[in-house]
Structure 1
Amino acid sequence: MTNTKPCILVVDDAPENIDIIRGLLGEEYKIKIALNGKRALDLAKAIPQPDLILLDIMMPEMDGYEVCEILKSNPETAHIGVIFLTSMVTPEDEQRGFLLGASDYITKPFDPEIVKTRIKTRIAVTQKERLLKEQIEQLKNDSLQVLDEGKLQKIIEIGENETSEFKSTLRFNLYTKKNESRMENQCLKSVAAFLNGTGGYLFVGVDDEGVALGLKNDAFKNEDKLMLHWHNLLREYLGADMAQCVHSNMHTIQEQRVLVIKCDPSPRPVFMSRDGDEAFYVRMGNSSQSLKPSEMLSYVDSRYGSAR
């Protein structure tokens, strides 16, 4: 992590508003200025990109809503947070802005404490998202990257066994189309079992017959959001240190995008903790099973020894 000040792009055609924002934020943040929408779009793509955009709504030629829509439709700039600046906001205005991808609204005249608090909160979210993306990259193992579709297909053709398992979806019940945590739990359970054994592969987006369904049903906005969600599940319910043993990446299999998770044997016992329960899973044939306390202690002694 560097000590570089976060960068804020202020987009407003009124110099007096820019001066107020610069006076409020100039000491803590690096401030870039754009007097119109076209210039804002150019600066948003420039390297280094801003961490946040403060965007006036009422501007000539191109208003803030149009600028926001273009920013969010471009993969190069879609990740940048946008806060609208406006003198008056109605529920309809808020709804329109949030549907376009804005994070918040700040009303004029500016209240210094509100401005500072909302900016600080949004910048913290941006920095957390950036850190998570970096951690996701660490999850990707070179050996997983070089596996092409043909090699992955051969693993699938062997079928489910002690080192390979298929899950149709990450979080949606394909029958009811509802988001259910038990789907996530099933995936986490399998990963924990692979970690506690000799390792293995989990294919998410493949049915029991080895047919790739893809992950469209899970309805993530994009693959980055999917990976962030999966990475958060691993950190929260299996342990942040498992990043070194769990290598996740998206692959094209049978013309569908599938999440492939390669698990290495863990150097410590791995427990899955969620909803107040803690369980220890191992692979038994084609499935993952939890062990009773006495069984778990015996297994841990034989598998991990002093690491218990």
Structure 2
Amino acid sequence: MFRGLRHKKSFLIIRNLIAVELVAYGIFVLLAIPFHWSKIYLNYFGPVAYFIPFNVLELIGLAAFQIVVILFVVTRSLRDDNIGELIKSGEHERLEFKTTMRWDVKRGQVNKELEKGVMKTVAAFMNSQGGQLVIGVDDQRGINGIGHDFDSLIKKSRDGFENHFNNIFGSMIGPEFRRHVRLSFHELGDKEVCLVQVERARRPAYLKTDNGEDFFIRTGNATTSLKVSQAAAYLADWHQR
């Protein structure tokens, strides 16, 4: 599966680089059209123009533009490749996968319990040593993507996804903890996944439920709820760390 993704990724990189070249040369052609650019350059930068002719400046600008965009394309591609390697490593104490954020694939509808499961994992990471949650990947490391989540939102985009994440995070955990969490989106072949990176919080994070508040931690590759007595002992040790 991942070998196929790498082939697709190579194709996308080449395609994007070709597009960059076409855009760069298009800009070069536009600048080359007689539009008095050289006269403007001479009028405003006369002394500099004596040492650096306008045509040389054009070439320098074209080269700089190409380098910047190529670096952007390659860096973004490498970042997505790192996500692939992360997924290959499988779930562990600081890594968990969720098939979706809110869309129940089996029922074909939105399921609020799935949102609660995502927030439960995030809270557990904050109460432990931090961790990473990949949304759009199942337990068998299959890439499902977050397309169904997008379709279930009013704003069907990355912004809409992050806005909804922020809303449920604020209501279930609290907006004051949001600075410990960072979202990023990555393309794997024709699918898109969301990486949720969670830092260890400086104070305990509780998950708000209909029955009050619950306290979760990570134990191995699982998220565990602590009873009141267990949480008290855990929190006593927390302040000594």
TM-score band w.r.t. shorter chain: 0.5 to 0.7
Higher relative contact order (CA 8 A, sep 6+): 2
Please state how far the C-alpha of 1:156 moved relative to its aligned partner.
1.0
Three-state SS of the structure 1 residue aligned to 2:91 is coil
Number of the residue aligned with 1:180: 111
Number of the residue aligned with 2:92: 161
- Greater percentage in strand: 1
2:222 maps to 1:222: no
Please state how far the C-alpha of 1:225 moved relative to its aligned partner.
1.1
**Separation (CA, whole Å) in 1 of partners of 2:209 and 2:200:** 22
Deviations, residues 115-144 of structure 1 (Å, cap 9, x unaligned): xxxxxxxxxxxxxxxxxxxxxxxxxxxxxx
Number of the residue aligned with 1:304: 239
- Asked if 2 retains the 8 angstrom alpha-carbon contact of 1:269 and 1:304, the reply is no
Unaligned runs of 5+ residues in structure 2 are 1-75
- Asked if 2 retains the 8 angstrom alpha-carbon contact of 1:267 and 1:304, the reply is no
- Greater percentage in helix: 2
Please state how far the C-alpha of 1:254 moved relative to its aligned partner.
3.9
Alignment TM-score, normalising by the size of structure 2: 0.64
Give 2:91's aligned amino acid: E
Number of the residue aligned with 1:288: 223
2:80 maps to 1:149: yes
Q: How does 1:12-161 map to 2 (within 5 A)?
A: 148-161=79-92
2:162 maps to 1:231: no
Unaligned runs of 5+ residues in structure 1 are 1-144
- Asked if 2 retains the 8 angstrom alpha-carbon contact of 1:206 and 1:213, the reply is yes
Aligned residues: 162
In the TM superposition, structure 1's runs of 4+ consecutive aligned residues that sit over 6 Å from their partners are none
Alignment TM-score, normalising by the size of structure 1: 0.50
Number of the residue aligned with 1:101: none
Deviations, residues 243-285 of structure 1 (Å, cap 9, x unaligned): 2111112211343111110000000000000223310000011
- Asked if 2 retains the 8 angstrom alpha-carbon contact of 1:212 and 1:254, the reply is no
Deviations, residues 16-66 of structure 1 (Å, cap 9, x unaligned): xxxxxxxxxxxxxxxxxxxxxxxxxxxxxxxxxxxxxxxxxxxxxxxxxxx
Residues 147, 182 of structure 1: alpha-carbon distance in 2 compared, 3 angstrom cutoff:
farther
Number of the residue aligned with 2:176: 241
Please state how far the C-alpha of 1:192 moved relative to its aligned partner.
0.4
2:197 maps to 1:266: no
**Separation (CA, whole Å) in 1 of partners of 2:180 and 2:130:** 9
